[in-house]
Each structure stands twice: as C-alpha cells, then as structure tokens.
C-alpha cells in the first residue's frame, strides 16, 4: 500500500491522503486486503480515515476498551466493511449485549443534524454530500429528522490541546495522539477555525454554489458496501417524517465513571478555561440527547488533503469534541462530491449506545445505501 517511501496510498485516489492516524487500517480495509482492522481514535483517527477511504469506522465510548494511559480522550474502535463485522469486534471489546445483533430491525432514530456544530468552517458541498445520505436514511424509514434541536457547541480546540499536553507531562504520547490536522491552539485561529455561520441544510438538501447538482448514486448490490459508491439519491422529506416513536428507556450506564468527563483515569482533569469548555460540551450533549437519539454531522469539514499534509486545514474540527466527552461515534461512507472527493457522515450517540450506530449502519446496508 506504499506508493512512495512512507506514504500510504488511498485506494480511492492516489492524490489523496487516506487520513490519519489509522491510515493503514482504513486503506487496507478499502483495498480488501484484510477482513477487519482496528484503530485508535484520539481526535478522529478512526473516523477520518474511514471517511476518506469509504469504509465504516467506529470510535467507542471513552473507557470501553483499555488504551495506553487509560485516557478517556483516546478510544479504540473497528474499521470494517459491514456493521456485522464491526459488531463482532465491539462484542470482543465487551459490548456484546448491545452490539452483537446489528441485523435486528431498528426503530426509527430521531436525528439532529449540524453541518458545523456551531464553530467549524465546513465546506458547503461536503455538508451537502453528507446530508444527502442522511436524507436517504430518512426516506428509507431508518431515521427521522428533528430540526427543532439546537446544536451549537463550544469550540473544543484549546480544551483538547490542554488535555493532550497534560497527559504528555504524566504518561508520554499515546496511540492516536497524532490525529489528522490537530494543531496547537494558535493554529486554531486561522481561516479553518474561524467561526462560520451555521450551514445547516435542514430537512432539505444543502446546495453549494460550486456544486448545485449532486452526483448520481452508483448502482450497487443491496447490502454490499463499495468504496467507489457515489452520493445517495436526494430524498424529499414530508412533515410526517419528523414524527418518531418515543425512545426506549436507556439501559443503566455501564461505562466507567471517567467516561464523558474528559478526565484520564487516576489523573487530573482539565483546569481553568479548559474545564469550563469540557463541562459545557457535556452539558450541551446531555441536553441534546434528551430530545434525539443521534447527532449527525459531516465527518470532516473539508475533503481529503494531499500527501504533503493538511496545511491549515482542521480536519478534526467535527470529531475531537466527542473525544473530550467520551461519546461513541461512527463514520459511514456518504459518497462523493461533484469533484469525486470521498465524504463521510458522522453519527454520534449517547454514552454506551454503540448499538444505535450499528443499527443505522446495518439498516442502511439492507437498503443498499452503503
């Protein structure tokens, strides 16, 4: 998979990076070299490679699986071609009760959509491509939009960097500590980190000035994910589609008490302004998940960059908040932009509810959407 010394090829296009830091795992999955792979996600290092290589990637709840230093911020997870394969991996990590049967017919999941989380500079055609898959999931009866939910999180950049530096002082670098595009807070003030207006497509598909027409969906066998899949067809949403059954009671939380606090086991949590940011992130998500079952965003705010690195791009802008809070999240292959760039749809669930992520992925496979 090396096209030049120390350069991992992206099976979807040689000019693109496969992402990081679990690049080899994602590329090997996309190239069908292995049936299953794992990665370590400290700020998006499972989800970003999954998005850019067109495979399924799951970041587990913080504290679910042991990692070096046992930090909540970094979490192991599978990269897979099917929800069943991902479920088998998660069952081995201790989530057998909720993840071993992804083929069960899910109830319709209420989903809140945000293209920016309130702070990221997401490119409009990336948001539109990700939202098109969400629309297709709604059309198939898998999800139901909840446009009334407000999603506006504080920018997690400085908090994440504080946690990283604090951890280095006590334990040294950990797996997943070199995520895609993660920079020191100074870099967070550049154009890619500027506060952007909420580019919410809402129930209707967002159109971008540069890509007003989405590419047509390629025909693929039902339930057979393909890294070359084009964008899912646009689905018109009716007012009735916003209605969903009442959520089932959540099981007793089984994740460690550190999960969702941004605090590594046995080590100090964030202090000063970082502590306030971590608390605000958790409070906002706690409120959100009383209204909806899942949060959906693009996995990254921009397309894959080249092999010379991310430059000023902040590819982690939409992923690293959930490493601070410990929420499980998955990236589903959402197709491509008009320019052919691969895009992922990120789904975020409450703590310990990886089963919701896999239920949606399995249902999407049955409908031929992945």
pLDDT for res 191: 33
Number of other residues whose CB lies within 10 A of the CB of residue 104: 12
CA atoms within 13 A on the CB side of 146: 21
pLDDT for res 214: 36
What percent of the chain has pLDDT above 70? 65
pLDDT for res 152: 96
pLDDT for res 6: 67
Which contacts of 93-100 are long-range, i.e. CB under 8 A and separated by 24 or more positions?
A: 93/60, 93/64, 93/65, 94/64, 94/65, 95/60, 95/64, 95/352, 95/354, 95/355, 98/251, 98/352, 98/353, 98/354, 98/355, 99/354, 99/355, 99/358
Q: Is the pLDDT assigned to residue 224 strictly greater than 90?
A: no
pLDDT for res 252: 40
Which H or E run contains 122?
none
Mean pLDDT value of segment 120-136 = 98
Q: Is the pLDDT assigned to residue 109 strictly greater than 50?
A: yes
Report the alpha-carbon distance of residue 183 to residue 142 in Å, rounded.
Answer: 37
* CA angle at 322 for the pair 16 and 318, rounded to the nearest 5°: 40
Tens-digit pLDDT profile for residues 240-260: 333 333 444 443 443 443 443
* Average pLDDT of every residue of the chain: 76
Reference 356, options 108, 88, 177; nearest CA is 108
Mean pLDDT value of segment 205-215 = 37
More reliable by pLDDT, 35 or 213: 35
Q: Are residues 18 and 8 in contact, defined by beta-carbon separation less than 8 angstroms?
A: yes
pLDDT for res 165: 80
How far from 369 is each of 139, 225, 226, CA to CA, in Å? Answer: 11, 8, 10
CA 36 to mean position of chain CA atoms: 18
Report the alpha-carbon distance of residue 149 to residue 242 in Å, rounded.
Answer: 12
Report whether the peptide linkage leading into residue 202 is cis, meaning its omega lies within 30 degrees of zero: no
Report the alpha-carbon distance of residue 10 to residue 26 in Å, rounded.
Answer: 9
Positive or negative, the CA dihedral 31, 137, 21, 317 is positive
CA atoms within 13 A on the CB side of 101: 5
Report the alpha-carbon distance of residue 68 to residue 72 in Å, rounded.
Answer: 10
CA 236 to mean position of chain CA atoms: 24
Tens-digit pLDDT profile for residues 1-40: 555 556 789 999 999 999 987 889 999 999 999 999 999 9
Tokens at 264, concatenated:
């590594």
Report the alpha-carbon distance of residue 210 to residue 306 in Å, rounded.
Answer: 21
Confidence bin at 272 (pLDDT 50/70/90):
confident
Tens-digit pLDDT profile for residues 38-72: 999 999 999 999 999 999 999 999 877 666 554 55
Q: Which residue has the tokens 């990076």?
A: 17
Tokens at 125, concatenated:
């055609």
The backbone torsions φ and ψ at residue 331, rounded to the nearest 5 degrees and listed phi first, read -110, 125
Contacts of 149 (CB under 8 A, 6+ apart): 112, 288, 291, 292
Number of other residues whose CB lies within 10 A of the CB of residue 219: 9
Positive or negative, the CA dihedral 259, 38, 299, 303 is positive
pLDDT for res 360: 97
**End-to-end Cα spacing for the chain:** 24
Confidence bin at 180 (pLDDT 50/70/90):
low
Mean pLDDT value of segment 326-348 = 97
Q: Is the pLDDT assigned to residue 220 strictly greater than 60?
A: no
């Amino acid at each position: 998979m090396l096209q030049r010394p120390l350069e991992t090829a992206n099976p979807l296009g040689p000019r693109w990076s496969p992402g990081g830091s679990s690049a080899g795992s994602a590329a090997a999955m996309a190239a069908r070299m292995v049936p299953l792979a794992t990665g370590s996600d400290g700020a998006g290092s499972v989800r970003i490679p999954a998005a850019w290589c067109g495979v399924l990637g799951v970041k587990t709840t913080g504290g679910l699986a042991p990692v070096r230093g046992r930090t909540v911020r970094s979490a192991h997870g599978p990269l897979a071609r099917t929800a069943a394969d991902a479920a088998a991996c998660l069952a081995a990590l201790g989530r057998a009760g909720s993840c071993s049967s992804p083929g069960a017919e899910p109830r319709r999941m209420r989903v809140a959509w945000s293209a920016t989380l309130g702070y990221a500079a997401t490119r409009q055609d990336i948001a539109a491509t990700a939202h098109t898959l969400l629309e297709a999931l709604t059309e198939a009866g898998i999800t139901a939009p909840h446009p009334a939910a407000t999603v506006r999180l504080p920018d997690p950049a400085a908090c994440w960097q504080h946690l990283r530096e604090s951890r280095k002082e006590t334990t040294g670098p950990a797996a997943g500590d070199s995520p895609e595009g993660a920079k020191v807070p100074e870099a967070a003030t550049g154009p890619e980190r500027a506060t952007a207006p909420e580019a919410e497509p809402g129930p209707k598909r967002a159109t971008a000035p540069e890509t007003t027409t989405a590419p047509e969906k390629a025909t693929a066998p039902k339930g057979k994910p393909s890294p070359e899949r084009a964008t899912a067809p646009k689905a018109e949403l009716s007012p009735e589609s916003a209605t969903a059954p009442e959520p089932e009671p959540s099981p007793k939380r089984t994740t460690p008490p550190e999960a969702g606090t941004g605090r590594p086991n046995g080590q100090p949590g964030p202090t000063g302004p970082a502590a306030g940011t971590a608390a605000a992130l958790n409070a906002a998500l706690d409120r959100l998940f009383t209204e909806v079952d899942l949060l959906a965003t693009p996995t990254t705010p921009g397309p894959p960059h080249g092999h010379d690195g991310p430059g000023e791009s902040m590819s982690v802008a939409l992923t690293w908040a959930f490493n601070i809070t410990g929420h499980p999240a998955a990236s589903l292959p959402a197709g491509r932009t008009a320019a052919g760039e691969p895009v992922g749809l990120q789904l975020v669930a409450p703590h310990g509810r990886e089963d919701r992520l896999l239920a949606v992925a399995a249902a999407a496979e049955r409908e031929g959407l992945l």
